């Protein structure tokens, strides 16, 4: 299996006359693994100043935040969320703590009901 990843950043002036940063992440794998898509996000450079991160750090933070939120909403499994975040499953579970998100997708009432203790 081979991996070919590239991360490109460009700065330009947006429609509002403000500087903006474009980040394009391209990742390709060869073998029987599904191909990944390239997404381009245009974010004003001034917005990055609030986070005090490099463009690369901001990209990783954005991937993690999206994966955590989608996991919290039950849209993704732990495995898929970890994949989107660019982490192994164990690291993804550890990354949930700062967001105050439980690694368990079931409420206490649902677990009790499943175990036969109807409340």
Q: Do 58 and 109 belong to one domain?
A: yes
Residue span of the structural domain in which 57 resides: 51-119
When pLDDT is averaged across residues 1-26 and rounded to a whole number, the result is 57
Please check the confidence at residue 16 and state whether its pLDDT lies above 90: no
E strands present in 14-102:
19-30, 39-44
What pLDDT, on the 0 to 100 scale, is given for residue 1? 43
Of 27, 74, 23, nearest in space to 45 by CA: 23
How far is Cα 42 from Cα 66, in angstroms, rounded to an integer? 16
How far is Cα 75 from Cα 66, in angstroms, rounded to an integer? 11
Q: Do 89 and 55 belong to one domain?
A: yes
What pLDDT, on the 0 to 100 scale, is given for residue 2? 43
**42-95 tens-digit pLDDT:** 878 777 778 888 878 888 999 999 999 999 999 999 999 999 999 999 999 999
What pLDDT, on the 0 to 100 scale, is given for residue 58? 85
Q: Do 62 and 89 belong to one domain?
A: yes
């Amino acid at each position: 299996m081979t991996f070919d990843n590239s991360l490109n950043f460009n700065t330009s002036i947006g429609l509002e006359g403000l500087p903006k940063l474009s980040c394009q992440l391209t990742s390709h794998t060869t073998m029987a693994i599904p191909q990944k898509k390239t997404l381009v996000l245009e974010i004003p450079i001034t917005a990055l100043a609030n986070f005090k991160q490099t463009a690369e750090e901001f990209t990783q933070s954005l991937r993690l935040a999206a994966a955590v939120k989608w996991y919290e909403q039950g849209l993704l499994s732990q495995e898929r969320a970890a994949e989107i975040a660019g982490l192994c499953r164990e690291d993804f579970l550890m990354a949930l703590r700062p967001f105050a998100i439980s690694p368990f997708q079931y409420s206490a009432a649902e677990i009790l009901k499943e175990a036969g203790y109807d409340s």
